[in-house]
Amino acid sequence: MNDLHWMTVEEATQAIAARKLSPVELMKALLERIGRLDPKLNTFIRLDGDAAMDAAMAAEAEIASGHQRGALHGVPVGIKDIIDVGGLPTTCHSKLLVDNVASADAVCVSRLRGAGAIVLGKLSTHEFAIGGPSFDLPWPPARNPWNTDHHPGGSSSGSGSGLAAGLFPMALGSDTGGSVRNPASACGIVGLKPTYGLVSRRGVFPLSFTLDHVGPMTRTVADNALMLEIIAGHDPLDPGSVAASAGHYETKLERGVRGLRIGYIRHFHEEDMPADAEVTAALEHVASTLQKLGAGIRDVRLPILGEFAAVNRVILQSEAWAIHGQWLRERPEDYGQLARRRLMSGAFLSAGDYVQAGRRRLEMISAVEAALREVDILLCASAMDPPSRIDDPAAVERTYPRQARTPFNVTGHPALAMMSGLSSSGLPLSVQFVGHNFAEATLFQVAREWERAAGTDNSHPRLV
Amino acid sequence: MDKNTVELLARRAGLDKALAQFSDDVAAAAKQASDAVAKIKVPVDPRAEPWPPMRVGTGL
Which residues of A are less than 8 Å from B52 in CB distance?
A: 210, 358
Over residues A76-112, the pLDDT tens digits come to 999 999 999 999 999 999 999 999 999 999 999 999 9
Average the pLDDT over A428-445 and give the result: 98
B21 and A332 in contact by Cβ < 8 A? yes
**Claim: this prediction has a pTM higher than 0.80:** yes
Which residues of A are less than 8 Å from B42 in CB distance?
A: 356, 359-360
Average the pLDDT over A382-406 and give the result: 95
Number of folded domains in chain A?
Answer: 1
pLDDT of residue A464: 54
Q: Tell me the residue range of the domain where A294 lies.
A: 9-240+249-458
Look at residue A13 and tell me if it is in a domain: yes
Look at residue A107 and tell me if it is in a domain: yes
The structural domains of chain B, with segments of one domain joined by +, span: 3-38
Average the pLDDT over A46-59 and give the result: 98
Which pairing describes strands A76-80 and A170-175: parallel, antiparallel, or unpaired? parallel
pLDDT of residue A1: 57
- Assign A137 a pLDDT band (cuts: 50, 70, 90): very high
Is the pLDDT at A360 greater than 60? The verdict is yes
- Assign B10 a pLDDT band (cuts: 50, 70, 90): very high
Task: For chain B, list residues whose CB is within 8 angstroms of any CB belonging to chain A.
Answer: 1, 6, 9-10, 13-18, 21-22, 25-26, 28-30, 32-43, 48-52, 57-60
pLDDT of residue B60: 65
Higher pLDDT among residues A269 and A245, named by residue: A269
Q: Please enumerate in sequence order all residues whose Cβ is within 8 A of that of A455, keeping only pairs 6 or more positions apart, or say none.
A: none
pLDDT of residue A331: 98
Look at residue A53 and tell me if it is in a domain: yes
Backbone angles phi, psi at A337, to 5 degrees: -65, -40
ipTM above 0.95, yes or no: yes
pLDDT of residue A381: 98
- A365 at interface of B, judged by CB pairs closer than 8 A: yes
Nearest CB partner across the interface for B15, out of A337, A344, A356: A344
Which residues of B are less than 8 Å from A355 in CB distance?
A: 50
Which pairing describes strands A190-193 and A213-218: parallel, antiparallel, or unpaired? antiparallel
Smallest Cα–Cα separation from A7: which of A39, A29, A36, A34? A29
Question: 3-state SS of chain A?
Answer: CCCHHHCCHHHHHHHHHCCCCCHHHHHHHHHHHHHHHHHHHCCEEEECHHHHHHHHHHHHHHHHCCCCCCCCCCCEEEEECCECCCCCECCCCCHHHCCCECCCCCHHHHHHHHCCCEEEEEECCCHHHCCCCCCCCCCCCCCCCCCCCECCCCCCHHHHHHHHCCCCCEEEEEECCCCCHHHHHHHCCEEEECCCCCECCCCECCCCCCCCEEEEEECCHHHHHHHHHHHECCCCCCCCCCCCCCCCCCCCCCCCCCCCEEEECHHHHHHHCCCCHHHHHHHHHHHHHHHHCCCEEEECCCCCHHHHHHHHHHHHHHHHHHHHHHHHHHCHHHCCHHHHHHHHHHHHCCHHHHHHHHHHHHHHHHHHHHHHHHCCEEEECCECCCCCECCCHHHHHHHCCCECCCHHHHHCCCEEEEEEEECCCCCEEEEEEEECCCCHHHHHHHHHHHHHHHCHHHCCCCCC
Residues of A assigned a catalytic role: 80, 155, 179
Look at residue A306 and tell me if it is in a domain: yes
Average the pLDDT over A268-295 and give the result: 98
Question: What's the distance, CA A228 to chain centroid?
Answer: 12
Look at residue A151 and tell me if it is in a domain: yes
pLDDT of residue A390: 97
DSSP state of B14: T
- A353 at interface of B, judged by CB pairs closer than 8 A: yes
pLDDT of residue A246: 72
Over residues A244-253, the pLDDT tens digits come to 777 899 999 9
Nearest CB partner across the interface for B21, out of A306, A333, A349: A333
Residue-wise DSSP of B25-55: HHHHHHHHHHHHHHT----S-TTPPPSSPP-
Task: Give the angle subtended at the CA of A262 by the CAs of A194 and A368, to the nearest 5°.
Answer: 55
Smallest Cα–Cα separation from A383: which of A409, A411, A404? A404
The Cα A63–Cα A2 span in angstroms is 22
pLDDT of residue B1: 87
Over residues A212-222, the pLDDT tens digits come to 999 999 999 99
The Cα B33–Cα B3 span in angstroms is 14
Over residues A162-179, the pLDDT tens digits come to 999 999 999 999 999 999
β-sheet bridge partners, residue A118:
A76
Residue A54 sits in a domain of what CATH number?
3.90.1300.10
